[in-house]
A and B are shown apart, each in its own frame.
Chain A
Amino acid sequence: MTGTDWPLWEVFVRSRRGLSHTHAGSLHAPDAEMALRNARDLYTRRSEGVSIWVVPATAITASSPDEKDPFFEPAADKPYRHPTFYDIPEGVRHL
């Protein structure tokens, strides 16, 4: 059957100017141009987007799915990076 080896494309849609592209889903297409056209028909039938990216799924490098992965550990013990870490006297304004 033809089409079995079409690459998988991940689709990202910017819903309106001023917002980032957001992952919408995926589709198969033989090339980038067809992937864009198919993404338009599939993910923006109701004007959900003003811009679309299609990215070959194989081009994405991802971190480990484990949220407790040591990879994210450096951020876990640094509460002083958050504004709520600091005690400010009552009545001090604009801070």
Chain B
Amino acid sequence: MTTTAPETEVLAAVFDAAVAADERIEPRDWMPDAYRATLVRQIAQHAHSEIIGMQPEANWITRAPSLRRKAILMAKVQDEAGHGLYLYSAAETLGTGRDELLDKLHAGRQRYSSIFNYPTLTWADVGAIGWLVDGAAITNQVPLCRCSYGPYARAMVRICKEESFHQRQGYELLLTLSRGTEAQHAMAQDAVDRWWWPSLMMFGPPDDESAHSAQSMAWKIKRHSNDELRQRFVDICVPQAESLGLTLPDPDLRWNEARGHYDFGAIDWDEFHEVLRGNGPCNDQRIGQRRTAHENGAWVREAAAAHAAKHGKATA
């Protein structure tokens, strides 16, 4: 299908008007190539983050301190797989298949959130991830429920509903440790100390250095700037930390009456860029394990395909 230049202009005007009117763009609508490419990049990175994010937490399933905690953690890790699949499904509506995206992840050609390149050293890390990492994710994701691209927005609605359980189980876990023995309290505090700053980095670089922000805001893929969301998250976390009986590792953190927000210290963006470049504590391990898991699953996929062929039920 080819369109002439004047036709493209008309289609672009229809697209712009739909976005301006806060209508949703649906898969078969005409959309600018750059809009499609931006969505594929963002949704893929988001999907990859969900499935890579299974690893740091799965690390503790066999060592969960009770059957209750183990069942909760398994359900949470299974949810992360589900979230990845909702998102790959949304990406596929843009004409990019799951296999292509997985290949790119395995080849290191597409990214996932840098937060998952940090190790989970103690059981308390499971709590800190739930409270802080999932909390930051929710802050990022709630506005995405109103994203201009329909399938992405709908996937986010499902995900946000489920993330709420993730965050609350993490908070409850940390609260239990914080109110436990001295050693348990110290373990909880140590986890928060290590996860706080990387969680703030999850919102991405400062607004004046964010490469894609302005265009994404114009297309209503993004609704709020990185710094705005980061501030919202800090403001939410400070009182929550107080209720936990834990402190946040930032000597510059204090209420600013004039701004009506908490001021916080400088983020180490060098660390952020180093981790993005592949030099975080666990980058190689995460991608290595993902590739291995995919290769180890080959026989299951082959068996399923053989079964379908034998029974002739592959109707599509």
Q: How far is the CA of A85 from the CA of B299 in the complex (A)?
A: 64
| B28 located at the interface, meaning its Cβ lies under 8 Å from any Cβ of chain A in the complex | yes
Interface of B is mostly: helix
Q: With A34-B308, A45-B78, A65-B26 known to touch, is A3 a contact of B314 (CB < 8 Å)?
A: no
User: Contacts of A29 on B, CB cut-off 8 Å?
Assistant: 304
Contact check, B155 vs A25: say whether CB atoms are below 8 A apart.
Answer: yes
* Chain A, Cβ-Cβ closest to B309: A30
- Quick one: which of B28, B82, B97 contacts A42, CB cutoff 8 A? B82
Contact check, A26 vs B316: say whether CB atoms are below 8 A apart.
Answer: no
Looking at B92, B97, B302, B314, the one whose CB has the most chain A CB atoms below 10 A away is B314
| B13 located at the interface, meaning its Cβ lies under 8 Å from any Cβ of chain A in the complex | no
Nearest-Cβ distance from residue A53 to partner chain B, whole angstroms: 13
- Quick one: which of B78, B86, B305 contacts A3, CB cutoff 8 A? B305
Fill in one digit per residue for B91-114: 1 if any A CB lies within 8 Å of its CB, else 0: 011000111000100000000000
- Quick one: which of A3, A6, A33, A46 contacts B313, CB cutoff 8 A? A33
User: Contacts of B98 on A, CB cut-off 8 Å?
Assistant: 28
Q: With A8-B316, A57-B316 known to touch, is A30 a contact of B92 (CB < 8 Å)?
A: no
| B315 located at the interface, meaning its Cβ lies under 8 Å from any Cβ of chain A in the complex | yes
| B: number of interface residues (CB 8 Å) | 34
- Quick one: which of B27, B78, B154, B314 contacts A31, CB cutoff 8 A? B314
Contact check, B92 vs A31: say whether CB atoms are below 8 A apart.
Answer: no
Which residues of A in the span 3-36 have a Cβ within 8 Å of any Cβ on B? Answer: 3-4, 6-9, 25-34
User: Contacts of A28 on B, CB cut-off 8 Å?
Assistant: 98
Interface residues on A, range: 20 to 34
Contact check, A25 vs B308: say whether CB atoms are below 8 A apart.
Answer: no
Q: With A25-B155, A28-B98 known to touch, is A45 a contact of B79 (CB < 8 Å)?
A: yes
Contact check, A30 vs B305: say whether CB atoms are below 8 A apart.
Answer: yes
User: Contacts of B27 on A, CB cut-off 8 Å?
Assistant: 65
Q: How far is the CA of A58 from the CA of B89 in the complex (A)?
A: 15
Contact check, B85 vs A27: say whether CB atoms are below 8 A apart.
Answer: yes
Fill in one digit per residue for B166-191: 1 if any A CB lies within 8 Å of its CB, else 0: 00000000000000000000000000
Q: With A1-B99, A3-B301, A45-B82 known to touch, is A26 a contact of B307 (CB < 8 Å)?
A: no
User: Contacts of B316 on A, CB cut-off 8 Å?
Assistant: 7-9, 56-59
Q: With A2-B301, A2-B302, A30-B307 known to touch, is A25 a contact of B314 (CB < 8 Å)?
A: no
Q: How far is the CA of A8 from the CA of B92 in the complex (A)?
A: 10
* Chain B, Cβ-Cβ closest to A62: B28
User: Contacts of B305 on A, CB cut-off 8 Å?
Assistant: 2-3, 6, 30
Fill in one digit per residue for A48-87: 1 if any B CB lies within 8 Å of its CB, else 0: 0000000011110010110000000000000000000000
Q: How far is the CA of A76 from the CA of B28 in the complex (A)?
A: 22
Looking at B27, B302, B304, the one whose CB has the most chain A CB atoms below 10 A away is B304
Contact check, A32 vs B82: say whether CB atoms are below 8 A apart.
Answer: no
Nearest-Cβ distance from residue A43 to partner chain B, whole angstroms: 8
Q: How far is the CA of A89 from the CA of B210 in the complex (A)?
A: 62
| B270 located at the interface, meaning its Cβ lies under 8 Å from any Cβ of chain A in the complex | no
Contact check, A31 vs B99: say whether CB atoms are below 8 A apart.
Answer: no
- Quick one: which of B28, B85, B86 contacts A65, CB cutoff 8 A? B28
* Chain B, Cβ-Cβ closest to A46: B162
| B298 located at the interface, meaning its Cβ lies under 8 Å from any Cβ of chain A in the complex | yes
User: Contacts of A4 on B, CB cut-off 8 Å?
Assistant: 97, 99
Which B residues form the contact surface with A (CB < 8 A)? 26-29, 75, 78-79, 82, 85-86, 89-90, 92-93, 97-99, 103, 154-155, 162, 298, 301-302, 304-305, 307-309, 311, 313-316
> 5 other contacts beyond A30-B307, A42-B86, with CB at 8 A cut-off?
A2-B305, A25-B86, A25-B89, A26-B89, A31-B304
Which A residues form the contact surface with B (CB < 8 A)? 1-4, 6-9, 25-34, 41-42, 45-46, 56-59, 62, 64-65
